[in-house]
Amino acid sequence: MKKRNIVLTVALAVVIAGGITFGGISWASTANMLGNYKSQLDYVYRMNFYELVDNVNDIESDLGKLSVTTNNNNASKYVSNILNASSSAQNNITQLPLNHQTIDNTIQFVNQLGGFMYSLQTQMSSGDSLSLDDIDQIENLHSSAENVKYELNKLSVLISNGNYSIIDNIQDPNVASNAFSDEWSGLNNNTIEYPSLIYDGPFSDSTTNKTIQGLSESEISATDAEIRLKNWFNGYTITSNGEVNGGEFDVYNFTLTKNDEELYAQITKRDGILLQLNSGEVSKSKDKSLSECESLAVEFASKLGFEDMVVTWSTSSNNFAYINLTPVQNDVILYPDLIKVKVSQETGSVVGWEAKSWAYNHRERANLDASIDGLQARMAVSESMDIRTDRLTLIPGDFVGEILAYEFMCVYSGSTYYVYIDANTGEQCNVLKVVETDDGNLLM
């Protein structure tokens, strides 16, 4: 009996000791692995940080050189250096574990800087040198860049300290406010004055406040909006969903229901046009061809009061036809005013509509006369291109303004291209390529 007890105790002890050893080893290896992951992540953050500092140092010195150089070749070299550095700086800073509110103005600064440099590059490549206004802007940017550089280099001293770990200063990965972020407070706009930038580019402060040119000032009531919807959509029950003010457009919201189908519609207060329509319905079959859907879209537009619309692009994806309708004035296609329509190929009904560009831009255009004729414009198209169609169009400028241009649809080595030739200068202003994707054809 006693012997048996001893054996049992020894056996138990061996099992427990084994368990502890095994547990300890696996705990140690997990902790070791976590430690490795932590260091790896810390290195990635560090790499981004040091690259950011380098990029901002380069930006600062090149902006300084750009503001004093008198040589156009040098200037364009600095411009392209700053353009590249600002785009990588943007990448670096958005990959760091920082509270967005601490650095959103810094991100805006590098984005706008890049946009401004891009517009200068375009300007200089057409032979123009920097204007006095440009130099003024560059000097403002330079002084902001100096401040950003100063703050970043201060941070660099902290982070380069061997004992500092970025990871250890983030704490909870779900909470944006952390000790690491707090170190960056010197970069927010209370400390650094970031200049407001107006230039011909996508992030310009002027493009964020677009003016609405397609709608008059007269507003319709919610009741009138509902009556309009009843006329446009037969057989649907219409429920009001309130109104939205303060966004891009002030609108009334409605839900339209018929059987199980549900559509969401927004009517603008000004002029009461259908701004957006959509639904979560799926389309199960392709009973209607793309060209049938095109006619249905044009018909629907005309019912809503959008006359003289032509189909300028269409593609089919997931049993839906996506169709671009564009108004025509004096035989000129007005691309800036296009409306996107989505038609179910199963039922043939319009289930999507987007008329924001129309609402922003549509108006009677004053000057649609070309100074050169189509034959002259043809000369500017590469000889190797096989031109299939041509027509006169109004196209949006890169970022602002509109250009009257001849559009040539061409085929070159099996691919389709759209080439645009300025109808006043005869210069080529844009080339688009048709790209076949898994999700229909795209113009790029």
Partner 1 sequence: MNKKISIKLVSVIMSIVMIFCAGIVGLSVSIDSYSEQVIETGLTTSQIRTVQTKLKNWGYYSGEVDGIFGSKTRAAVISFQKKNGLVADGIVGTKTAQALGMSLTTQTSGDLYNLAKCIYAEARGEPYVGQVAVGAVILNRVESSKFPNTIYGVIYQPYAFTCVADGQINLEPDETAYNAARDALNGWDPTYGALYYYNPATATSSWIWSRQILVTIGKHNFAI
Contacts with partner 1 by CB under 8 A lie at: 90-91, 94-101, 104-105, 107-108, 111-112, 115, 173-177, 202-203, 208, 244, 246-249, 251, 253, 262, 264, 266, 276, 278-280, 282, 317-318, 322, 340, 342, 352, 354, 356, 411, 413-415, 435-439
To partner 1, the closest distance from the beta carbon of 6 in angstroms equals 51
To partner 1, the closest distance from the beta carbon of 290 in angstroms equals 12
Closer to partner 1 by Cβ: residue 67 or 283: 283
Cβ neighbours of 330 (radius 10 Å) = 8
Closer to partner 1 by Cβ: residue 118 or 406: 118
To partner 1, the closest distance from the beta carbon of 94 in angstroms equals 4
To partner 1, the closest distance from the beta carbon of 179 in angstroms equals 14
Closer to partner 1 by Cβ: residue 108 or 376: 108
Return the H-helix or E-strand segment holding 351.
strand 350-354
To partner 1, the closest distance from the beta carbon of 277 in angstroms equals 9
| CA angle (259, 262, 266) in 5-degree steps | 140
To partner 1, the closest distance from the beta carbon of 219 in angstroms equals 17
Closer to partner 1 by Cβ: residue 162 or 280: 280
Closer to partner 1 by Cβ: residue 69 or 99: 99
User: Residues 6 or more apart from 396 whose CB is under 8 A from it?
Assistant: 335, 336, 402, 403
To partner 1, the closest distance from the beta carbon of 88 in angstroms equals 12
Q: What one-character DSSP code corresponds to residue 55? A: H
- 1, with CB counted inside 10 A (0-12, 13-18, 19+), is exposed
Closer to partner 1 by Cβ: residue 41 or 220: 41
- 94, with CB counted inside 10 A (0-12, 13-18, 19+), is middle
Closest CA to 320 of 299, 349, 300: 349
Structure token digits, residue 349: 């009904």
User: Residues 6 or more apart from 148 whose CB is under 8 A from it?
Assistant: 56, 60, 106, 109, 187, 192
Rg (CA), the chain: 31
| Paired sense of beta strands 332-334 and 386-396, if any | parallel
To partner 1, the closest distance from the beta carbon of 195 in angstroms equals 13
Closer to partner 1 by Cβ: residue 342 or 362: 342
Let me know: does 392 contact 406? Beta carbons within 8 Å.
yes
Closer to partner 1 by Cβ: residue 392 or 395: 395
Structure token digits, residue 314: 């269409």
In 96-194, where do the E strands start and end? none
